[in-house]
């Protein structure tokens, strides 16, 4: 059976992940190798230091190459960050064939028409995703090719981003020796991975809480309706621990992962409330209260959830 090898790179705020996979004609995906490395040079999902980002990407790519035995030349690259925004736009065309059968060309023209949106010149389009078609006023058509009609409308979801943020990401990947097949909004890639067509039909919100950003996508009636990126993530939880409990950053991250809970009243026994952790000076130990730790985490968790909720409300659903 025919197969091809594709590569994906996720340049995240806390980690860079490169994945090499074989994709079979049937759609089956076989992962050949993964290269995971701590990220540098990123803040809230965008590149802020190209040299650091290049090093992290190159390390991740080399690891994936070593594990897969595949020489990486090109890759699909995920985009995220607060600069991402999205809107829904309609395109309309008259069906061109004399017999009024809708052709691939009509669909392409309608999608093209939907892209004539007013856009500030420091932004560019990343995706134009057809959600549904309307033929002579009949809504909710998923594939109009071959149908008959006079007027074809398309509802699209358009994702845009800042030119500079996108250029810095492209530059970093290219300097790490990899050409770009295409850029993919990270939430859409996550949606492909974890949602079933049924989920999208019934309506679903996808939330990816990362290190520096929380990516949100709302799917309605089988199509993408709203996408946005909120600049909060796991790093904020860690930073809160640093500030409130006065620990070094590494200790805070360790405490969060090992003892943290997002709901503080999950009864911590007073007898085991205090835990020992590393302090600032080498060899210094300090006592940390688990219930206090979890109160700090719960406060931040509530804020993050509220922001996610506001974003869902803002989407109009
Ligand atoms: N078990 C856990 N409990 C709580 N937080 C966790 C856990 N495991 C990882 N994290 C946190 O998740 C964050 C990393 O998530 P992820 O790997 O998705 O981020 P990223 O893709 O690098 O960043 P972004 O998508 O924001 O650019 C870190 O802040 C880490 O502390
Ligand atoms: Mg991520």
pLDDT > 70: percent of the chain: 99
Specify the ligand 1 atom closest to the Cα of 212: 26
Q: Is residue 21 part of a domain?
A: yes
What average pLDDT does this structure show over 53-79? 98
Q: What local confidence, expressed as pLDDT, does residue 279 receive?
A: 85
In a shared domain, residues 142 and 250: no
Query: Is residue 78 within 6 Å of ligand 1 at its C-beta?
Result: no
Query: Is residue 37 within 6 Å of ligand 1 at its C-beta?
Result: no
Residue of the nearest CA to atom 16 in ligand 1? 210
Whether the per-residue pLDDT at 108 is higher than 70: the answer is yes
In a shared domain, residues 152 and 269: no
pLDDT > 90: percent of the chain: 84
Q: Classify 117 as helix, strand or coil.
A: coil
Q: Is residue 92 part of a domain?
A: yes
Q: Is residue 221 part of a domain?
A: no
DSSP lists the bridge partners of residue 276 as: 287
In a shared domain, residues 238 and 294: yes
| 293 vs 199: CA distance, rounded Å | 36
| 35 vs 1: CA distance, rounded Å | 27
Whether the per-residue pLDDT at 189 is higher than 70: the answer is yes
Whether the per-residue pLDDT at 267 is higher than 70: the answer is no
In a shared domain, residues 242 and 94: no
Side-by-side strand order, sheet with 151-162 = 85-94, 151-162, 123-135, 138-141
Q: What local confidence, expressed as pLDDT, does residue 34 receive?
A: 98
How does DSSP classify residue 315? T
What average pLDDT does this structure show over 275-282? 86
What average pLDDT does this structure show over 294-299? 96
Whether the per-residue pLDDT at 222 is higher than 70: the answer is yes
Residue after which a domain boundary falls, among 160, 186, 219: 160
Is residue 76 very low, low, confident or very high in pLDDT (cuts 50, 70, 90)? very high
How does DSSP classify residue 136? T
Is residue 3 very low, low, confident or very high in pLDDT (cuts 50, 70, 90)? confident
Q: What local confidence, expressed as pLDDT, does residue 266 receive?
A: 64
Q: Is residue 212 part of a domain?
A: no
Is residue 62 very low, low, confident or very high in pLDDT (cuts 50, 70, 90)? very high
- 130: phi then psi, degrees, rounded to nearest 5: -65, 130
CA of 125 to the centre of ligand 1 (A): 28
The residues near 85 (Cβ < 8 Å, ≥ 6 apart) are 159, 160, 161, 228
In a shared domain, residues 68 and 168: yes
In a shared domain, residues 252 and 108: no
| 139 vs 201: CA distance, rounded Å | 15
Q: What local confidence, expressed as pLDDT, does residue 288 receive?
A: 92
> Can you give the CATH number for the domain in which 148 is found?
3.30.1490.110
What average pLDDT does this structure show over 110-125? 92
What average pLDDT does this structure show over 9-28? 95
In a shared domain, residues 69 and 89: no
Residue after which a domain boundary falls, among 139, 160, 181: 160
> Cα Rg for the chain, rounded, in angstroms?
23
128-139: pLDDT as tens digits: 999 999 999 999
> Can you give the CATH number for the domain in which 51 is found?
3.30.420.40
Residue of the nearest CA to atom 31 in ligand 1? 234
129-168: pLDDT as tens digits: 999 999 999 998 999 999 999 999 999 999 999 999 999 9
Is residue 1 very low, low, confident or very high in pLDDT (cuts 50, 70, 90)? low
Ligand sitting nearest the alpha carbon of 255: 1
Specify the ligand 1 atom closest to the Cα of 45: 27
Residue after which a domain boundary falls, among 109, 133, 160: 160
Q: Is residue 128 part of a domain?
A: yes
- The number of beta carbons lying within 10 Å of the beta carbon of residue 286 is 16
CA of 226 to the centre of ligand 1 (A): 23
Q: What local confidence, expressed as pLDDT, does residue 177 receive?
A: 97
Specify the ligand 1 atom closest to the Cα of 235: 29
Q: Is residue 74 part of a domain?
A: yes
Q: What local confidence, expressed as pLDDT, does residue 144 receive?
A: 96
Ligand sitting nearest the alpha carbon of 301: 1
In a shared domain, residues 73 and 182: yes
Q: Is residue 317 part of a domain?
A: no
* Contact criterion met (CB below 8 Å) for 62 and 209: no
| CB burial readout 153-191, b (16+ within 10 A) else e | bbbbbbbbbbeebbebbbebbeebebeeeebbbbbbbbb
In a shared domain, residues 115 and 177: no
| 71 vs 60: CA distance, rounded Å | 13
Encoding tokens for residue 151?
Answer: 């007027």
Could you tell which of 16, 187, 194, 211 is best to mutate to test the pocket of ligand 1, judged by most ligand atoms within 8 Å of the CB?
211
Q: Which long-range contacts (CB under 8 A, 24 or more apart) does 2-7 make?
A: 5/32, 5/70, 6/75, 6/76, 6/181, 7/64, 7/70, 7/72, 7/74, 7/75, 7/76, 7/178
Q: Is residue 223 part of a domain?
A: no
In a shared domain, residues 95 and 69: no
> Can you give the CATH number for the domain in which 257 is found?
3.90.640.10
In a shared domain, residues 72 and 168: yes
Mean of per-residue pLDDT scores for the chain? 94
> Among all chains, which residue has been given the structure tokens 């006065």?
246
Specify the ligand 1 atom closest to the Cα of 253: 31
Ligand sitting nearest the alpha carbon of 230: 1
CA of 299 to the centre of ligand 2 (A): 22
User: Structural domain of residue 103, as residue ranges?
Assistant: 85-160
What average pLDDT does this structure show over 281-302? 93
Encoding tokens for residue 48?
Answer: 């802020």
CA of 10 to the centre of ligand 1 (A): 13
Count of domains for the chain: 3
In a shared domain, residues 38 and 178: yes
Q: What local confidence, expressed as pLDDT, does residue 52 receive?
A: 97
| 50 vs 76: CA distance, rounded Å | 19
């Amino acid at each position: 059976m025919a197969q091809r090898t594709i590569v994906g790179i996720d340049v995240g705020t806390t980690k860079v992940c490169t994945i090499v996979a074989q994709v079979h004609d049937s759609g089956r995906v076989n992962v050949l190798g993964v290269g995971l490395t701590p990220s540098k040079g990123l803040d809230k999902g965008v590149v802020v230091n190209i040299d650091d980002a290049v090093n992290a990407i190159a390390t991740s790519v080399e690891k994936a190459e070593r594990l897969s035995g595949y020489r990486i030349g090109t890759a699909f690259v995920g985009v995220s960050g607060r600069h991402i925004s999205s809107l829904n736009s309609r395109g309309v065309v008259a069906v061109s064939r004399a017999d009024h059968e809708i052709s691939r060309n009509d669909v392409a023209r309608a999608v093209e028409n939907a892209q004539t949106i007013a856009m500030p010149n420091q932004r560019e389009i990343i995706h134009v995703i057809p959600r549904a078609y309307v033929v002579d006023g009949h809504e909710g058509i998923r594939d109009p090719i071959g149908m008959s009609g006079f007027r074809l409308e398309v509802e699209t979801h358009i994702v845009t981003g800042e030119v500079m943020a996108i250029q810095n990401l492209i530059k970093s990947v290219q300097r790490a020796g990899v050409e770009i097949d295409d850029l993919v909004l990270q939430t859409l890639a996550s949606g492909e991975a974890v949602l079933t067509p049924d989920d999208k039909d019934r309506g679903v919100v996808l939330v990816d809480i990362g290190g520096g950003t929380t990516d949100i996508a709302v799917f309605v009636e089988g199509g993408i309706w709203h996408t946005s990126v909120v600049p909060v993530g796991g790093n904020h939880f860690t930073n809160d621990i640093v500030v409130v409990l006065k620990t070094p950053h590494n200790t805070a991250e360790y405490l969060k992962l090992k003892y943290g809970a997002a709901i503080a009243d999950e009864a911590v026994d007073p007898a085991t409330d205090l835990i020992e952790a590393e302090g600032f000076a080498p060899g210094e130990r300090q006592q940390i209260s688990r219930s206090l730790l979890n109160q700090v985490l719960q406060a931040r968790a509530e804020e993050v959830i509220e922001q996610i909720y506001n974003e869902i409300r803002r989407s109009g659903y």
